[in-house]
């Protein structure tokens, strides 16, 4: 922030993330490293709750026997957890290697960047009749490797034959295991495979807090279906995934589903819709991508059978060298699907809902951040910062306080704390004034605070205070667990 500038909303959110231990800059004591972030004690709980909600809602709790609302038919869901480093041929066949691994030449004068192997056909921006480097003002760099994938070496010897890449997406781990899943689980089409895991992209410009990070976590589904049904499944997943964010508290007027135009489609896609959120760091009216739902056709499975494909009109063909051989040969393994009932063999189509776990976390943080006013003991309205997380996502579910530090209240409160802790992330605090303790929990989004007071000693009742309304109800101490459970599940 420029000195003296009024702090804006996003700066207050970033500040809270640091102050309360949600998100820290990576390697901060060494000056930080751009594009990498660490989750603190509360952040890790929040992000884990988001990933757990996704895994539970998409995979664990999925009912294979019944079509969910809007789904063309019942389907199966299974999970995978595949390696970050894969055989280098995976990235050659997937198309990532060619697209993101180029020798580039920059012009120091006009700041233009050219592919080193295209200098013969490019124009100098200053004098279009000449090629880059031919104009007397041109000042070209040596060709430099420009790689958006992180490269590493497998084994102790650093020679080209041991080069490997950190995955730039989790999807390929699912595609290369397609046959393994089919052979080991008895799933039939249509079915989906989910995976949560880290991916790495050497972004040119990491920006907007954690929004564009170089290391990030994805929550991806690769959904395999019959080509004739792929359009219907694409529609289903777009809506299903949008509703997921709404169900966890993102306001629908800050969310939108945006269909990509033809010129915007990725090299593999024959239809993509982004689920976007109006992040507060973006200009008013702009949205940022939370998740992409892509219709990938048969591109991926064919790529790993035949080799790297290129688009020709409305279909894909094998990318060939001038002598006719495949540029990057595929595995040669048969990744087709045989339908026992229809006796039909085909390459399944793929619908890919690919969500960013860190982007979802950031969106839920931004959505939760609220400033309101609560009257103090004199009835004067005081500003309050409250994180209105959905109870499923809140890092701490319940806090337990003795009203004051005497008359056995701390002992009773600790007993209750221990009992509740067996079931939920629970926090105990006996320091300072009660109002201060409520505010501290408000700022980290704890939905419920239970207070042991003088009356508890008389009739075994306690108060449960609601984060959003500040309203208190009195319940028997033996009923606290059931009441909290009821409220956590009610929303």
Partner RNA sequence: GCGGGCGUAGCUCAAUGGUAGAGCACCGGCCUUCCAAGCCGGGAAUGCGGGUUCGAUUCCCGUCGCCCGCUCCA
| Interaction residues for RNA, span 1-60 (CB under 7 A) | 1-5, 7, 11, 15, 18-19, 25, 31-35
Six-digit token string for 244 = 């997921």
What is the enclosing helix (H) or strand (E) of 295? strand 288-297
Judged by CB under 7 A, which of 320, 436, 476, 486 binds RNA?
436
Judged by CB under 7 A, which of 283, 285, 322, 332 binds RNA?
283
CB of 270 to RNA, least distance (A): 12
Q: Which is nearer to RNA, 152 or 336 (CB)?
A: 152
Q: Which is nearer to RNA, 53 or 301 (CB)?
A: 301
96 contacts: CB under 8 Å, gap ≥ 6: 149, 165, 168, 169
Six-digit token string for 70 = 């809007």
- Tokens 């508890």 label which residue? 456
Q: Which is nearer to RNA, 185 or 455 (CB)?
A: 455
* Gap between the Cα atoms of 181 and 173, Å rounded: 12
Interface size with RNA, residues (CB under 7 A): 77
Site string for RNA, 465-484 (x = CB under 7 A): x----xxx------------
Q: Please choose, out of 75-83, 106-114, 219-227, 305-313, the segment that lies near RNA by the rule CB under 7 A.
A: 106-114
Q: Is 212 in the site for RNA (CB under 7 A)?
A: yes
Judged by CB under 7 A, which of 74, 128, 227, 454 binds RNA?
454
Torsion angle of alpha carbons 484, 487, 489, 368, nearest 10°?
-110
Residue 176, SS3 per DSSP:
coil
* Gap between the Cα atoms of 438 and 441, Å rounded: 5
CB of 11 to RNA, least distance (A): 6
Judged by CB under 7 A, which of 233, 281, 316, 389 binds RNA?
281
CB of 409 to RNA, least distance (A): 8
Judged by CB under 7 A, which of 60, 121, 370, 382 binds RNA?
382
Judged by CB under 7 A, which of 76, 308, 463, 480 binds RNA?
463
Torsion angle of alpha carbons 281, 286, 288, 289, nearest 10°?
170
Q: Is 276 in the site for RNA (CB under 7 A)?
A: no
CB of 82 to RNA, least distance (A): 17
Six-digit token string for 362 = 């950031």
Q: Is 98 in the site for RNA (CB under 7 A)?
A: no
Handedness of CA 133, 139, 142, 148 (dihedral sign): negative
Q: Which is nearer to RNA, 244 or 268 (CB)?
A: 268
* Bridge partners (DSSP) listed for residue 362: none
* Bridge partners (DSSP) listed for residue 23: 39
Among 102, 215, 234, 212, which residue's Cα sits nearest to residue 169? 215
Q: Which is nearer to RNA, 268 or 417 (CB)?
A: 268
Preceding amide of 190 cis, omega within 30: yes
Beta pairing, strands 288-297 & 309-312? unpaired
Judged by CB under 7 A, which of 48, 51, 384, 414 binds RNA?
384
Residue 85 neighbours by CB distance under 10 Å: 13
Contact 326, 384 (CB under 8 A): no
Provide the 8-state DSSP code for 150.
P
Q: Where are the beta strands (DSSP E) in 298-368?
A: 309-312, 315-318, 337-339, 344-346, 349-356
Judged by CB under 7 A, which of 65, 69, 83, 111 binds RNA?
111
Judged by CB under 7 A, which of 9, 67, 154, 433 binds RNA?
433
CB of 10 to RNA, least distance (A): 7
Among 329, 296, 333, which residue's Cα sits nearest to residue 92? 329
CB of 453 to RNA, least distance (A): 3
CB of 445 to RNA, least distance (A): 13
Site string for RNA, 168-207 (x = CB under 7 A): xx-------------------------------xxxxxxx
CB of 438 to RNA, least distance (A): 4
Q: Please choose, out of 39-47, 219-227, 319-327, 373-381, the segment that lies near RNA by the rule CB under 7 A.
A: 373-381
* Gap between the Cα atoms of 352 and 346, Å rounded: 19
Q: Which of residues 394-423 bind RNA (CB under 7 A)?
A: 403-407
Q: Which is nearer to RNA, 345 or 405 (CB)?
A: 405
């Amino acid at each position: 922030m420029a000195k003296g500038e009024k702090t804006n909303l996003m700066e207050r959110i970033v500040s809270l993330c640091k102050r309360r231990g949600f998100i820290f800059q990576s390697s901060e004591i060494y000056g930080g490293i751009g594009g990498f972030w660490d989750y603190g004690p509360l952040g890790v709980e929040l992000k884990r709750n988001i990933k757990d909600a996704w895994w539970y809602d998409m995979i664990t709790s999925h009912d294979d026997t019944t079509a969910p609302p809007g789904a063309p038919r019942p389907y199966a869901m299974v999970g995978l957890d595949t390696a970050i480093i894969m055989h280098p041929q995976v990235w050659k066949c997937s198309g990532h290697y060619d697209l993101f691994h180029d020798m580039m030449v920059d012009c120091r004068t006009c700041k233009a960047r050219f592919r080193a192997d295209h200098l013969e056909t490019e124009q100098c921006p200053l004098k279009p009749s000449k090629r880059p480097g031919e104009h007397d003002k041109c000042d070209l760099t040596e060709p430099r490797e420009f790689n958006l994938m992180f490269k590493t070496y497998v084994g102790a010897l650093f020679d080209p034959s041991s080069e490997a890449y950190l995955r730039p997406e989790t999807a390929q781990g699912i595609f290369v295991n397609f046959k393994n899943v089919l052979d080991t689980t008895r799933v039939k089409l249509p079915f989906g495979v989910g995976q949560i895991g880290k991916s790495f992209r050497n972004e040119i410009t990491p920006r907007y807090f954690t929004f564009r990070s170089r290391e990030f976590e994805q929550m991806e589904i690769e959904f395999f279906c019959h080509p004739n049904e792929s359009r219907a499944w694409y529609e289903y997943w777009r809506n299903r995934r949008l509703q997921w964010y709404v169900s966890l508290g993102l306001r629908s007027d800050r969310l939108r589903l945006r269909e990509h135009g033809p010129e915007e489609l990725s090299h593999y896609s024959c239809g993509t819709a982004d689920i976007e959120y109006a992040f507060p760091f973006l200009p008013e009216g702009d949205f940022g991508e939370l998740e992409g739902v892509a219709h990938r056709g048969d591109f991926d499975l064919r790529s790993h059978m035949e080799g790297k494909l290129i688009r020709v009109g409305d279909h894909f063909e094998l990318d060939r060298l001038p002598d006719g051989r495949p540029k990057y040969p595929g595995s040669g393994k048969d990744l087709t699907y045989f339908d026992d009932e229809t006796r039909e063999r085909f390459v399944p189509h793929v619908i890919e809902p690919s969500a960013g776990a860190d982007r979802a976390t950031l969106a839920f943080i931004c959505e939760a951040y609220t400033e309101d006013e609560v009257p103090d003991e004199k009835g004067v309205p005081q500003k309050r910062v409250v994180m209105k997380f959905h109870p499923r996502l809140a890092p701490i579910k319940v806090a337990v306080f003795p009203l004051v530090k005497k008359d056995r209240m701390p002992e009773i409160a600790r007993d209750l704390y221990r009992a509740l802790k067996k079931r939920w992330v629970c926090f105990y605090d006996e320091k300072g004034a009660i109002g201060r303790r409520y505010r501290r929990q408000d700022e980290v989004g704890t939905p419920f605070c239970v207070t042991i007071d003088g009356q508890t000693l008389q009739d075994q009742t306690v108060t449960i205070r609601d984060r959003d309304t500040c309203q208190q109800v009195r319940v028997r101490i033996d009923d606290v667990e059931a009441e909290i459970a009821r409220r956590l599940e009610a929303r």
